[in-house]
Chain A
Amino acid sequence: MERRPQRSVAVDDVDGFEAFYGRALPGALRLAHLLTGSVSVGQDVAQDAMVAVHQRWHEIENPAAYLRTTVVNLSRSVQRRSIRERMHLRGRPEAVTSIPEVDETWRELRRLPPAQRTVVVLRFYEDLSLAEIAEQLGKPIGTVKSTLHRALSTLKEVLP
């Protein structure tokens, strides 16, 4: 067979995916950061979510929604990972901004159980309604409501 060196043939419609990747990655990184409490773990999650979108690029109607769902699901999965990560999450300097009240609130948010933090982030960062959160997480709306209630009660207690 005659050798025919050439530039690699891109995956189907890679331009479309590439444009989506460039557009959606920052948002995925932010959401994953907030959900996992860690920039680096969030990067891993966002990448994995992008891989999932890429693999189903031609099947999914709403890549952005699919990406968000995948980020949320993967973030929930990774929250039970290794001690190294737990140390990573808790051992790093807490100050992420120059605003003490923000840093303090963020520290307490990170200390919430993952399920509670997820609901808080989806409610107050993604601005989803309880019904939308329930759909996103595949949980009854009553469960979401009580989870949010517990999270807010805890935060009200610990935040001055």
Chain B
Amino acid sequence: MIEPEIDPRLEERLRTTLQAVARTTPRSIAPYRRAPRPRRGRAALVAAAVVAVAGVAASLAVARHRDQAGPGSGAGVATSPATSQAAVSGSLLATPLAHDVRPYVTLDQPGWRAVNLPAGFGWSGHPTAGCPGCTASRLVLVSGTDALGGAVFTAWIVDAVYDVTQLDTPVAIGAIDGRANVRAAPAGVAQNRVTLAWPLADGRTAFVDATGMPTDQVVEIAAALHVDEPVPTVDPLPAGWRSVPAGGAASVALRVDAFTDDRGRSMQIVATNQGIHGLLDWAASFEHLMVNPASTVEAGGTTVLADHAAWWPAGRFGAYWIAGDWGYRAVGAGFASQAEFLDALASLQLTSSTDPGPGLFVTPMTQYEGFSYATGWVAGDAS
């Protein structure tokens, strides 16, 4: 095969460029580091004051799950997020834990085992700084009783100028010319996803990401946002909506390392004690929440936002859920169907005890930051 004639100058330029850019690539995958939240301004404090009224997804989940924990969920299932004083165990999907209690995942299904993997190795990706929304502090409004069960509206501000014309459609955000990208759902508004971006006068850029809402409503709420402070606010709240405040506790992101079973199925879980805010942080880097086609399903007694990206290999499924102050992300591989994945997920238990009973596989969740190696250990026999 004769190669096309290539201008040697252009070829040299391309080779030089590719080598030079390649040299800028980090040699490893950066661990998750979350930026500190900016100081809240007056308007944000007003939003924070609605905490008691609005409640968080955690408390709703607690109320909803209060009577749903079955006998198999273990002793000490909490009726409110368990604090550090109360050791609990129960379904990973439905046991609420307070932000200061670390969950340990336990498996009581035969054939599963923990897996040691090199640092940084995983299915869930690592959030990175640099994209519009990564590590941002954001306004989160939800319309459902469960934070992941209904429409979600998020807004945040990036202290940088972005070329908003990359979005497809011009749209007026109040008196400001912005742009919108709408990914309409094939069936109704449930999957409708709207992204807005508009420039602010001081060199910042405002972003909105919403799902499950008509586009007009997204624009209407966006136009009502107060954007003077680092975190947008809206006052009064739109009727039927509540604000989910960011947790005041120090942010903790944990991951449980891969575990696998004899059938080649595997799963990895990431947990954050910041509820939906933590999940949005996690997701903001590239994908997942509100980006992948997702649907809410009931699994293991809780509402799970289940997703599957078209580009994922066959057998991979993901899920988000919130229990107590914690938000979780699980990605499984090697599953025959989403139902099978969710069944496996529902079989997982958690405990806050470091001394679990016999016959359990326990994989202590490793703190993400500073994570160097999986430290799974076996508290029972696989066979």
Interface residues of A (CB under 8 A from B): 1-11, 14, 18, 21-22, 25-26, 29-31, 33-34, 39-44, 46-48, 50-52, 54-55, 74, 77-78, 80-88, 90-92, 96-97, 99, 101-102, 105-106, 109, 120-121, 124-125, 129-131, 141, 145, 148-149, 152, 155-156, 159
Contacts and interface: CB of A to CB of B under 8 A. Distances in A.
Interface residues of B, number: 76
A43 to B, nearest CB: 5
A8 B378 contact: yes
A96 B263 CA distance: 44
Contacts of B209: 84
Contact of B125 (A9, A31, A44): A44
Interface in B1-46: 1, 3-4, 6-7, 10-11, 13-22, 24-30
A81 B293 CA distance: 11
Given A83-B181, A87-B167, A97-B21, 10 more contacts: A26-B25, A34-B21, A43-B26, A82-B287, A84-B131, A84-B287, A91-B132, A97-B20, A99-B20, A102-B16
A52 B131 contact: no
A26 B286 contact: no
B4 A152 contact: yes
B347 interface: no
Query: For the complex, would chain B's binding face be called helix, strand, loop or mixed by DSSP majority?
Result: loop
Query: For the complex, would chain A's binding face be called helix, strand, loop or mixed by DSSP majority?
Result: helix
A47 B123 CA distance: 7
Interface of B: 1, 3-4, 6-7, 10-11, 13-22, 24-30, 113-118, 120-123, 125-126, 128, 130-133, 162-163, 166-167, 181, 183, 195, 197, 209, 260, 264, 266, 284-287, 291, 309, 311, 313, 333-334, 357-359, 363, 374-382
B125 A11 contact: no
Contacts of B121: 21, 47, 50-51, 54
B111 to A, nearest CB: 13
15 contacts: A2-B358, A3-B358, A5-B377, A41-B286, A43-B128, A81-B291, A83-B183, A84-B133, A92-B130, A97-B20, A97-B21, A106-B21, A124-B14, A152-B7, A155-B14
